[in-house]
């Protein structure tokens, strides 16, 4: 017995000595994770075994030796400061009493959010409303395999569990008497991960999170797909405003409005790209939330120049907008949004958010200093619009954004009318980013090795990437799309016999500008109410389509089928977002063009256009065409002739001609 006590004492002494090295780095808890054999975490799908030591605020050390860890996130996994997912062998109550006890937890890096607190503030905003399930969290310092990797947010994983999304769990396995009306946890998922289907009415990608794809059976899949289909048909019907026959019969209006307001208040451009909602057993309604993934919200996303005075249903990304912009056409919805928003404001919403920000700033002060010693505070990690040299400047920017945006929302909601259909496209004197409705990435021209051609691809929106900017130019009653860098035109090179649904699938490219080549002419066709357009090639009658809905950089843009899915397939839908920079005038009044060879001039005294050259005999080789500002051909003339403009009104005109293999065009103003 005495020997046993000695052994136990030695073991306890060893544990005490071992724990002495596990100390907190700041006032926050510190998590130490060591993978077995120091194995790197390189995958979002393959777990790595590890041990974890959690040093709490009282410096008590808890050891977890049955742990697995892997990467998580979509685009955020590609960042240097990476997010992780934890899975324990047993259910753990990591956040304490009153919070979830479960196996799965997340470590959010908040790498693109220099305040580190946007997710936490958004969760607190959800608690200020009626939303039931708002992700709980605790900030920690993370040490991985002996190296400090930053301030992290230990948070709930969005799943069906008590204290998370607390709906009734379905029988596993199902029996003949099982009620499969719920629960279900669903997500409008722009990435189409996991067990995903696309709705028939609005082409919205829906992921079924619960039941898990390893457990769900055909009858459950069929039930929830059919139910979402019923909701969409009611929303799309002529009776959609009717409280019994329309969409309101399928939604919990309280959670719908509060979830919508949280998305708009946070100005989360991806709030409609990733939208969680759920259905409980024996309940006919769809409930909305939890709100999630707000690290690039509150004016922290350069893909749209400013969101402080914009609604996300107008400029945000994702297919949930299809549903919401239909709801905007219902006066009940617009009135409900305004009334509820004013209730929240009068209850002190803005002051509440400021209190949360100030409290979190104080809590994270020590940790953020360590974090930015590791990562740099003035270095762009993701989509940040502004970069400062101090933490408090980022905090001040967040407060200022909330103040200005909330003031804007009051006016916007008060004046909001049912959404009108997407208007006809009218090109402005600015370059455009042509952005896919599904992937939120832009059409880019890359070099091909052939000076006469360029490769057309999808690429992440980058603020200074001029190869993603396009001049949308009227030509012959249609449009040409000229790349800002190369001035080559978007071109459909499809060969052979073509028609709207035949010989499709050729990758688009760019070619030297030729306004007479119908392969370079496009019609920009409005679709729906969300500001989407199709790009229809005049020659092939094909639609520009993102290959396979691929979200990866480098995906091709295809010449594709033109049919009834043009309005609903997000692969075929594009935003035309004007940039900040205006297109310089090509010609105002009279300007020499290639003066060493020849010049085009306008003589106001005779009201004539004509060319001049040191080798006038060569001018006979040119045939020039004159178009008005709408692209209508008003006449043509040979290069050694004069062309009278007397019959034309004052205004802007375009003269186009070919010189050898080069197509030329200039603009002039008839005074």
Of the candidates 574, 265, 221, 220, the residue with the CA atom closest to the CA atom of residue 408: 265
Residue 662: what pLDDT? 57
Are 84 and 107 a contacting pair, CB within 8 Å? yes
Structural tokens at position 230: 């019923």
262-290 pLDDT, tens digit each: 999 999 999 999 999 999 999 999 999 99
| Residue 261, CA distances (Å) to 8, 289, 436 in order | 59, 11, 25
Average pLDDT over residues 148-164: 93
Q: Which of the two residues, 604 and 643, has the higher pLDDT score?
A: 643
Q: What is the C-alpha to C-alpha distance for residues 643 and 646, in angstroms, rounded to an integer?
A: 9
* Torsion region of 528: left, alpha or beta (phi above 0 gives left; psi -120 to 50 gives alpha): left
Q: What is the 3-state secondary structure (H, E, C) of 18-54?
A: HHCCCCCCCCCCEEEEEEHHHCCCCCCCCCEEEEEEE
Structural tokens at position 222: 């069929």
Q: What is the C-alpha to C-alpha distance for residues 255 and 251, in angstroms, rounded to an integer?
A: 8
pTM for the model stands at: 0.68
Structural tokens at position 565: 């899915």
Are 436 and 570 a contacting pair, CB within 8 Å? yes
Residue 668: what pLDDT? 77
- pLDDT at residue 400 tops 90: yes
Residue 624: what pLDDT? 83
CA 46 to chain centroid, in Å, comes to 26
Torsion angle of the four alpha carbons 237, 239, 242, 248, in this order, in degrees rounded to the nearest 10:
0
- Residue found by looking up tokens 């219902």 in the block: 330
Alpha helix stretches (DSSP H) within 20-140: 118-128
477-492 pLDDT, tens digit each: 999 999 988 889 999 9
564-576 pLDDT, tens digit each: 889 888 899 998 9
At 653, is the pLDDT very low, low, confident or very high (cuts 50, 70, 90)?
A: confident
491-497: list long-range contacts, CB under 8 Å, 24+ apart. 491/517, 491/519, 491/520, 492/519, 492/537, 492/539, 492/540, 492/542, 492/559, 493/519, 493/559, 494/519, 494/540, 494/542, 494/559
Peptide bond between residue 33 and the one before it cis (omega within 30 degrees of 0): no
- Residue found by looking up tokens 């719920």 in the block: 182
How many other CB atoms are found less than 10 A from the CB of residue 367? 21
**Sign of torsion, CA 435 405 463 192?**
negative
Give backbone dihedrals phi and psi of 608, rounded to 5 degrees, phi first: -130, 150
Count the helices and strands in the chain (H runs, E runs).
9, 31
How many other CB atoms are found less than 10 A from the CB of residue 474? 19
Q: What is the C-alpha to C-alpha distance for residues 239 and 247, in angstroms, rounded to an integer?
A: 9
Helix (H) or strand (E) holding 264: helix 253-265
Spatial strand order of the sheet with 651-659 comes to: 633-638, 623-628, 651-659, 662-670
14-63 pLDDT, tens digit each: 333 344 479 999 999 999 999 999 999 999 999 999 999 999 999 999 99
Q: What is the C-alpha to C-alpha distance for residues 572 and 462, in angstroms, rounded to an integer?
A: 22
Q: What is the C-alpha to C-alpha distance for residues 334 and 412, in angstroms, rounded to an integer?
A: 10
Angle between helices 118-128 and 349-375 (to 10 degrees): 160
Structural tokens at position 340: 């509820």
Q: What is the C-alpha to C-alpha distance for residues 524 and 539, in angstroms, rounded to an integer?
A: 14
Residue 342: what pLDDT? 95
- pLDDT at residue 612 tops 90: no
Are 530 and 420 a contacting pair, CB within 8 Å? no
Residue 327: what pLDDT? 96
Structural tokens at position 363: 């809590």
Q: What is the C-alpha to C-alpha distance for residues 460 and 197, in angstroms, rounded to an integer?
A: 25
Are 405 and 269 a contacting pair, CB within 8 Å? no
131-151 pLDDT, tens digit each: 999 999 999 999 999 999 999
Are 663 and 654 a contacting pair, CB within 8 Å? no
Residue 591: what pLDDT? 32
Q: In the chain, what percentage of residues exceed pLDDT 90?
A: 67
The answer to which of 240-254, 321-335, 515-529, 616-630 has the lowest mean pLDDT is 616-630
Q: Which of the two residues, 525 and 551, has the higher pLDDT score?
A: 525
Structural tokens at position 432: 């455009």
Q: What is the C-alpha to C-alpha distance for residues 425 and 446, in angstroms, rounded to an integer?
A: 26
Average pLDDT over residues 183-209: 93
**Sign of torsion, CA 561 563 564 566?**
positive
Structural tokens at position 529: 């109410």
Q: What is the C-alpha to C-alpha distance for residues 663 and 521, in angstroms, rounded to an integer?
A: 14
The answer to which of 1-10, 45-54, 351-360 has the lowest mean pLDDT is 1-10
- pLDDT at residue 199 tops 80: yes
Burial class (CB in 10 A: 0-12, 13-18, 19+), 242: middle
Residue 458: what pLDDT? 94
Are 232 and 203 a contacting pair, CB within 8 Å? no
Residue 584: what pLDDT? 67
- pLDDT at residue 517 tops 90: yes
Q: 251-255, 450-454, 664-668: which has the highest mean pLDDT?
A: 251-255
The answer to which of 267-276, 433-442, 631-640 has the lowest mean pLDDT is 631-640
Bridge partners for 189 per DSSP: 274
Residue 631: what pLDDT? 67
| Residue 277, CA distances (Å) to 291, 453, 670 in order | 9, 46, 59
Cβ-based neighbours of 86, under 8 Å, separated by 6 or more: 52, 67, 68, 69, 104, 105, 106, 107
Residue 8: what pLDDT? 40
Radius of gyration in angstroms for the set of CA atoms belonging to the chain, rounded to a whole number:
30
Average pLDDT over residues 539-561: 93
Q: In the chain, what percentage of residues exceed pLDDT 70?
A: 93
3-state secondary structure of 574: strand
How many other CB atoms are found less than 10 A from the CB of residue 96? 9
**Sign of torsion, CA 169 175 179 180?**
positive
Are 476 and 458 a contacting pair, CB within 8 Å? no
Q: What is the DSSP string of 437-487?
A: TTT--EEEEEE-S-TT-EEEEEE---TT-GGG-EEEEEETTEEEEEETTT-
């Amino acid at each position: 017995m005495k020997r046993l006590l000695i052994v136990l004492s030695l073991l306890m002494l060893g544990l005490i000595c071992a724990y002495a090295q596990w100390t907190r780095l700041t006032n926050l808890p510190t998590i130490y994770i060591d993978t077995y054999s120091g194995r790197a975490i390189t995958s979002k799908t393959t777990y790595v075994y590890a041990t974890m030591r959690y040093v709490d605020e009282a410096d008590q050390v808890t050891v977890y030796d049955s742990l697995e860890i892997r990467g998580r996130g979509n685009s955020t996994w590609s960042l240097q400061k990476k997010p992780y997912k934890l899975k324990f062998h047993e259910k753990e109550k990591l956040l304490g009493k009153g919070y979830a006890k479960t196996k799965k937890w997340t470590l959010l890096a908040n790498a693109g959010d220099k305040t580190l607190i946007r997710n936490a503030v958004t969760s607190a905003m959800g608690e200020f409303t009626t939303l039931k399930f708002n992700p709980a969290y605790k900030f920690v310092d993370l040490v991985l395999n002996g190296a400090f990797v930053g301030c992290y947010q230990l948070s709930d994983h969005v799943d069906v569990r008590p204290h998370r999304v607390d709906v009734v769990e379905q029988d596993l396995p199902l029996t003949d008497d099982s009620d499969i009306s719920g629960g279900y946890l669903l997500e409008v998922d722009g990435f189409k991960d996991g067990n995903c289907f696309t709705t028939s009415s609005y082409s919205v990608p829906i992921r079924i999170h619960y039941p898990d794809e390893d457990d769900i059976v055909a009858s459950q899949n069929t039930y929830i797909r059919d139910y979402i289909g019923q909701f969409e048909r009611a929303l799309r019907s002529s009776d959609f405003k009717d409280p019994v026959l329309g969409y309101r019969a399928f939604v919990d209006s309280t959670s719908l409005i509060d979830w919508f307001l949280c998305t708009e208040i946070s100005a989360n451009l991806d709030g409609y790209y990733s939208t969680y909602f759920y259905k409980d057993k024996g309940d006919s309604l769809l409930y909305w939330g939890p709100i999630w993934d707000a690290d690039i919200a509150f004016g922290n996303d350069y893909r749209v120049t400013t969101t402080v005075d914009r609604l996300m249903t107008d400029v945000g990304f994702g297919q949930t907008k299809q549903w919401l912009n239909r709801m905007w056409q219902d006066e009940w919805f617009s009135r409900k949004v305004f009334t509820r928003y004013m209730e929240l404001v009068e209850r002190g919403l803005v002051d509440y958010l400021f209190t949360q920000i100030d409290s979190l700033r104080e809590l994270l002060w020590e940790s953020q200093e360590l974090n930015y010693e590791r990562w740099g505070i003035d270095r762009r990690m993701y989509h940040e619009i502004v970069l400062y040299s101090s933490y408090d400047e980022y905090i001040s920017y967040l407060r200022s954004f909330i103040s200005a945006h909330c003031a804007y929302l009051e006016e916007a909601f008060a004046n909001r009318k049912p959404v009108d259909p997407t208007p006809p496209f009218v090109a402005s004197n600015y370059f455009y980013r042509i952005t896919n409705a599904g992937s939120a990435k832009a059409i880019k021209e890359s070099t091909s090795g052939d000076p006469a051609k360029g490769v057309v691809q999808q690429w992440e929106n980058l603020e200074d990437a001029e190869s993603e900017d396009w001049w949308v130019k009227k030509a012959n009653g249609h449009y040409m799309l000229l790349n800002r860098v190369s001035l080559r035109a978007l071109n459909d090179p499809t060969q052979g016999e073509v028609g709207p649904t035949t010989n499709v699938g050729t990758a688009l490219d760019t070619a030297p500008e030729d306004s007479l080549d119908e392969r370079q002419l496009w019609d920009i066709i409005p679709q729906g109410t969300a500001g989407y357009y199709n790009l229809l090639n005049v020659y092939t009658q094909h639609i520009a389509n993102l290959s396979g809905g691929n979200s990866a950089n480098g995906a091709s843009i295809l010449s594709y089928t033109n049919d009834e899915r043009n309005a609903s397939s997000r692969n075929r839908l594009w935003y035309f977002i004007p940039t900040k920079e205006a297109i310089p005038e090509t010609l105002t009044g009279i300007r020499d063009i290639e003066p060493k060879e020849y010049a085009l001039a306008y003589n106001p005294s005779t009201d004539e256009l004509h060319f001049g050259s040191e080798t006038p005999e060569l001018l006979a080789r040119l045939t020039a065409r004159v178009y008005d500002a709408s692209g209508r051909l008003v006449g043509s003339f040979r290069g050694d002739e004069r062309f009278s403009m007397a019959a034309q009104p004052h205004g802007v005109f375009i003269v186009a001609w070919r010189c050898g293999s080069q197509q030329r065009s200039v603009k002039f103003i008839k005074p």
